[in-house]
Amino acid sequence: MSRPANQTADITNVDLMHATTLRLLGRPAGSDGMAVLYGPSGFGKTQAATQAYLRHNGYFVRMSDQWTCKTFLQKILIEMDIQPEKTGAAMLDQVAQQLSASSRPLIIDEADYAADKPRLVQLIRDIHDNSYKASIILVGEEALPQKLAKWERFHSRVLDWVPAQPVSLDDARKLVPIYSEDMPVADDLLQLLVDEARGSVRRVGNNLNLIREEGLSEGWDVATLANWGNRTLYTGKAPTRRLP
């Protein structure tokens, strides 16, 4: 099956993240360089972070619960393609030096895992403070700002708190050419998707896939609320069986 070239969807959160990164990178010398993107899962935070990573040629690490300070530094250095030194202090220098020299942003996904651990929070602050104009973006769940509020000295260095936005009808329209470019979807059906999605971009995407398949096998010209009828949508609650 051949499909036409796809395009990128500049949905709200991708735009937000892009703008935040630009603001961090372009901030005046001397101001702090951390930002936090937070929101419920499924809101497309990671997708937005990925786009910022690609567009700004950044460094991307995804935190894990198991990580210690040392693993965290090693992971960043591996992403930077730098041979890690032996000690934590030396690795911190390496990371700070590379961030300063390259002025590429460091994006830390699933930062919640760090937020619970005082030493990791401290370490991220150290990376920030030890480098010149480094830009660090933390991405995490809805409660991330509250978790970080405990660490006053960290909290005060955050330039931007960016709440991820729930998926909108406008976003849904932009997703149609990507998920279902050979099956147009009318606004009334899109509105239903947005209402059912409870903010989640992922659910809208999944449902557009579903609609496309259904529409193609039924031979619709355009998928509307009327011809969709009361077929089941993917709501993220429980898997539904769809009989042929």
Beta bridge partners of 109: 62
Q: Residue 54 Cβ, how far from other proteins at the closest point, in Å?
A: 5
Dihedral Cα 149, 150, 153, 156, nearest 10 deg: 10
Question: Can residue 87 be called a binding residue for other proteins (CB under 8 A)?
Answer: no
Find the binder of other proteins among 28, 81, 221, 241 (CB under 8 A). 81
Contact mark string toward other proteins, 192..231, x via CB under 8 A? ---------------------x--xx-x------------
Q: How far apart are CA 177 and CA 197, in angstroms?
A: 18
Rg (CA), the chain: 21
Find the binder of other proteins among 104, 155, 173, 198 (CB under 8 A). 104
Which is closer to other proteins, CB of 62 or CB of 173? 62
Question: Can residue 12 be called a binding residue for other proteins (CB under 8 A)?
Answer: no
| Residues constituting the chain | 244
Q: Residue 120 Cβ, how far from other proteins at the closest point, in Å?
A: 15
Question: Can residue 156 be called a binding residue for other proteins (CB under 8 A)?
Answer: no
CA distances from 28 to 25, 121, 210 (A): 9, 24, 47
Stretch that binds other proteins, among 69-77, 132-140, 145-153, 228-236 (CB under 8 A): 69-77
Q: How far apart are CA 36 and CA 138, in angstroms?
A: 5
Q: Residue 24 Cβ, how far from other proteins at the closest point, in Å?
A: 17
Cβ neighbourhood burial of 151 (10 Å; 0-12, 13-18, 19+): middle
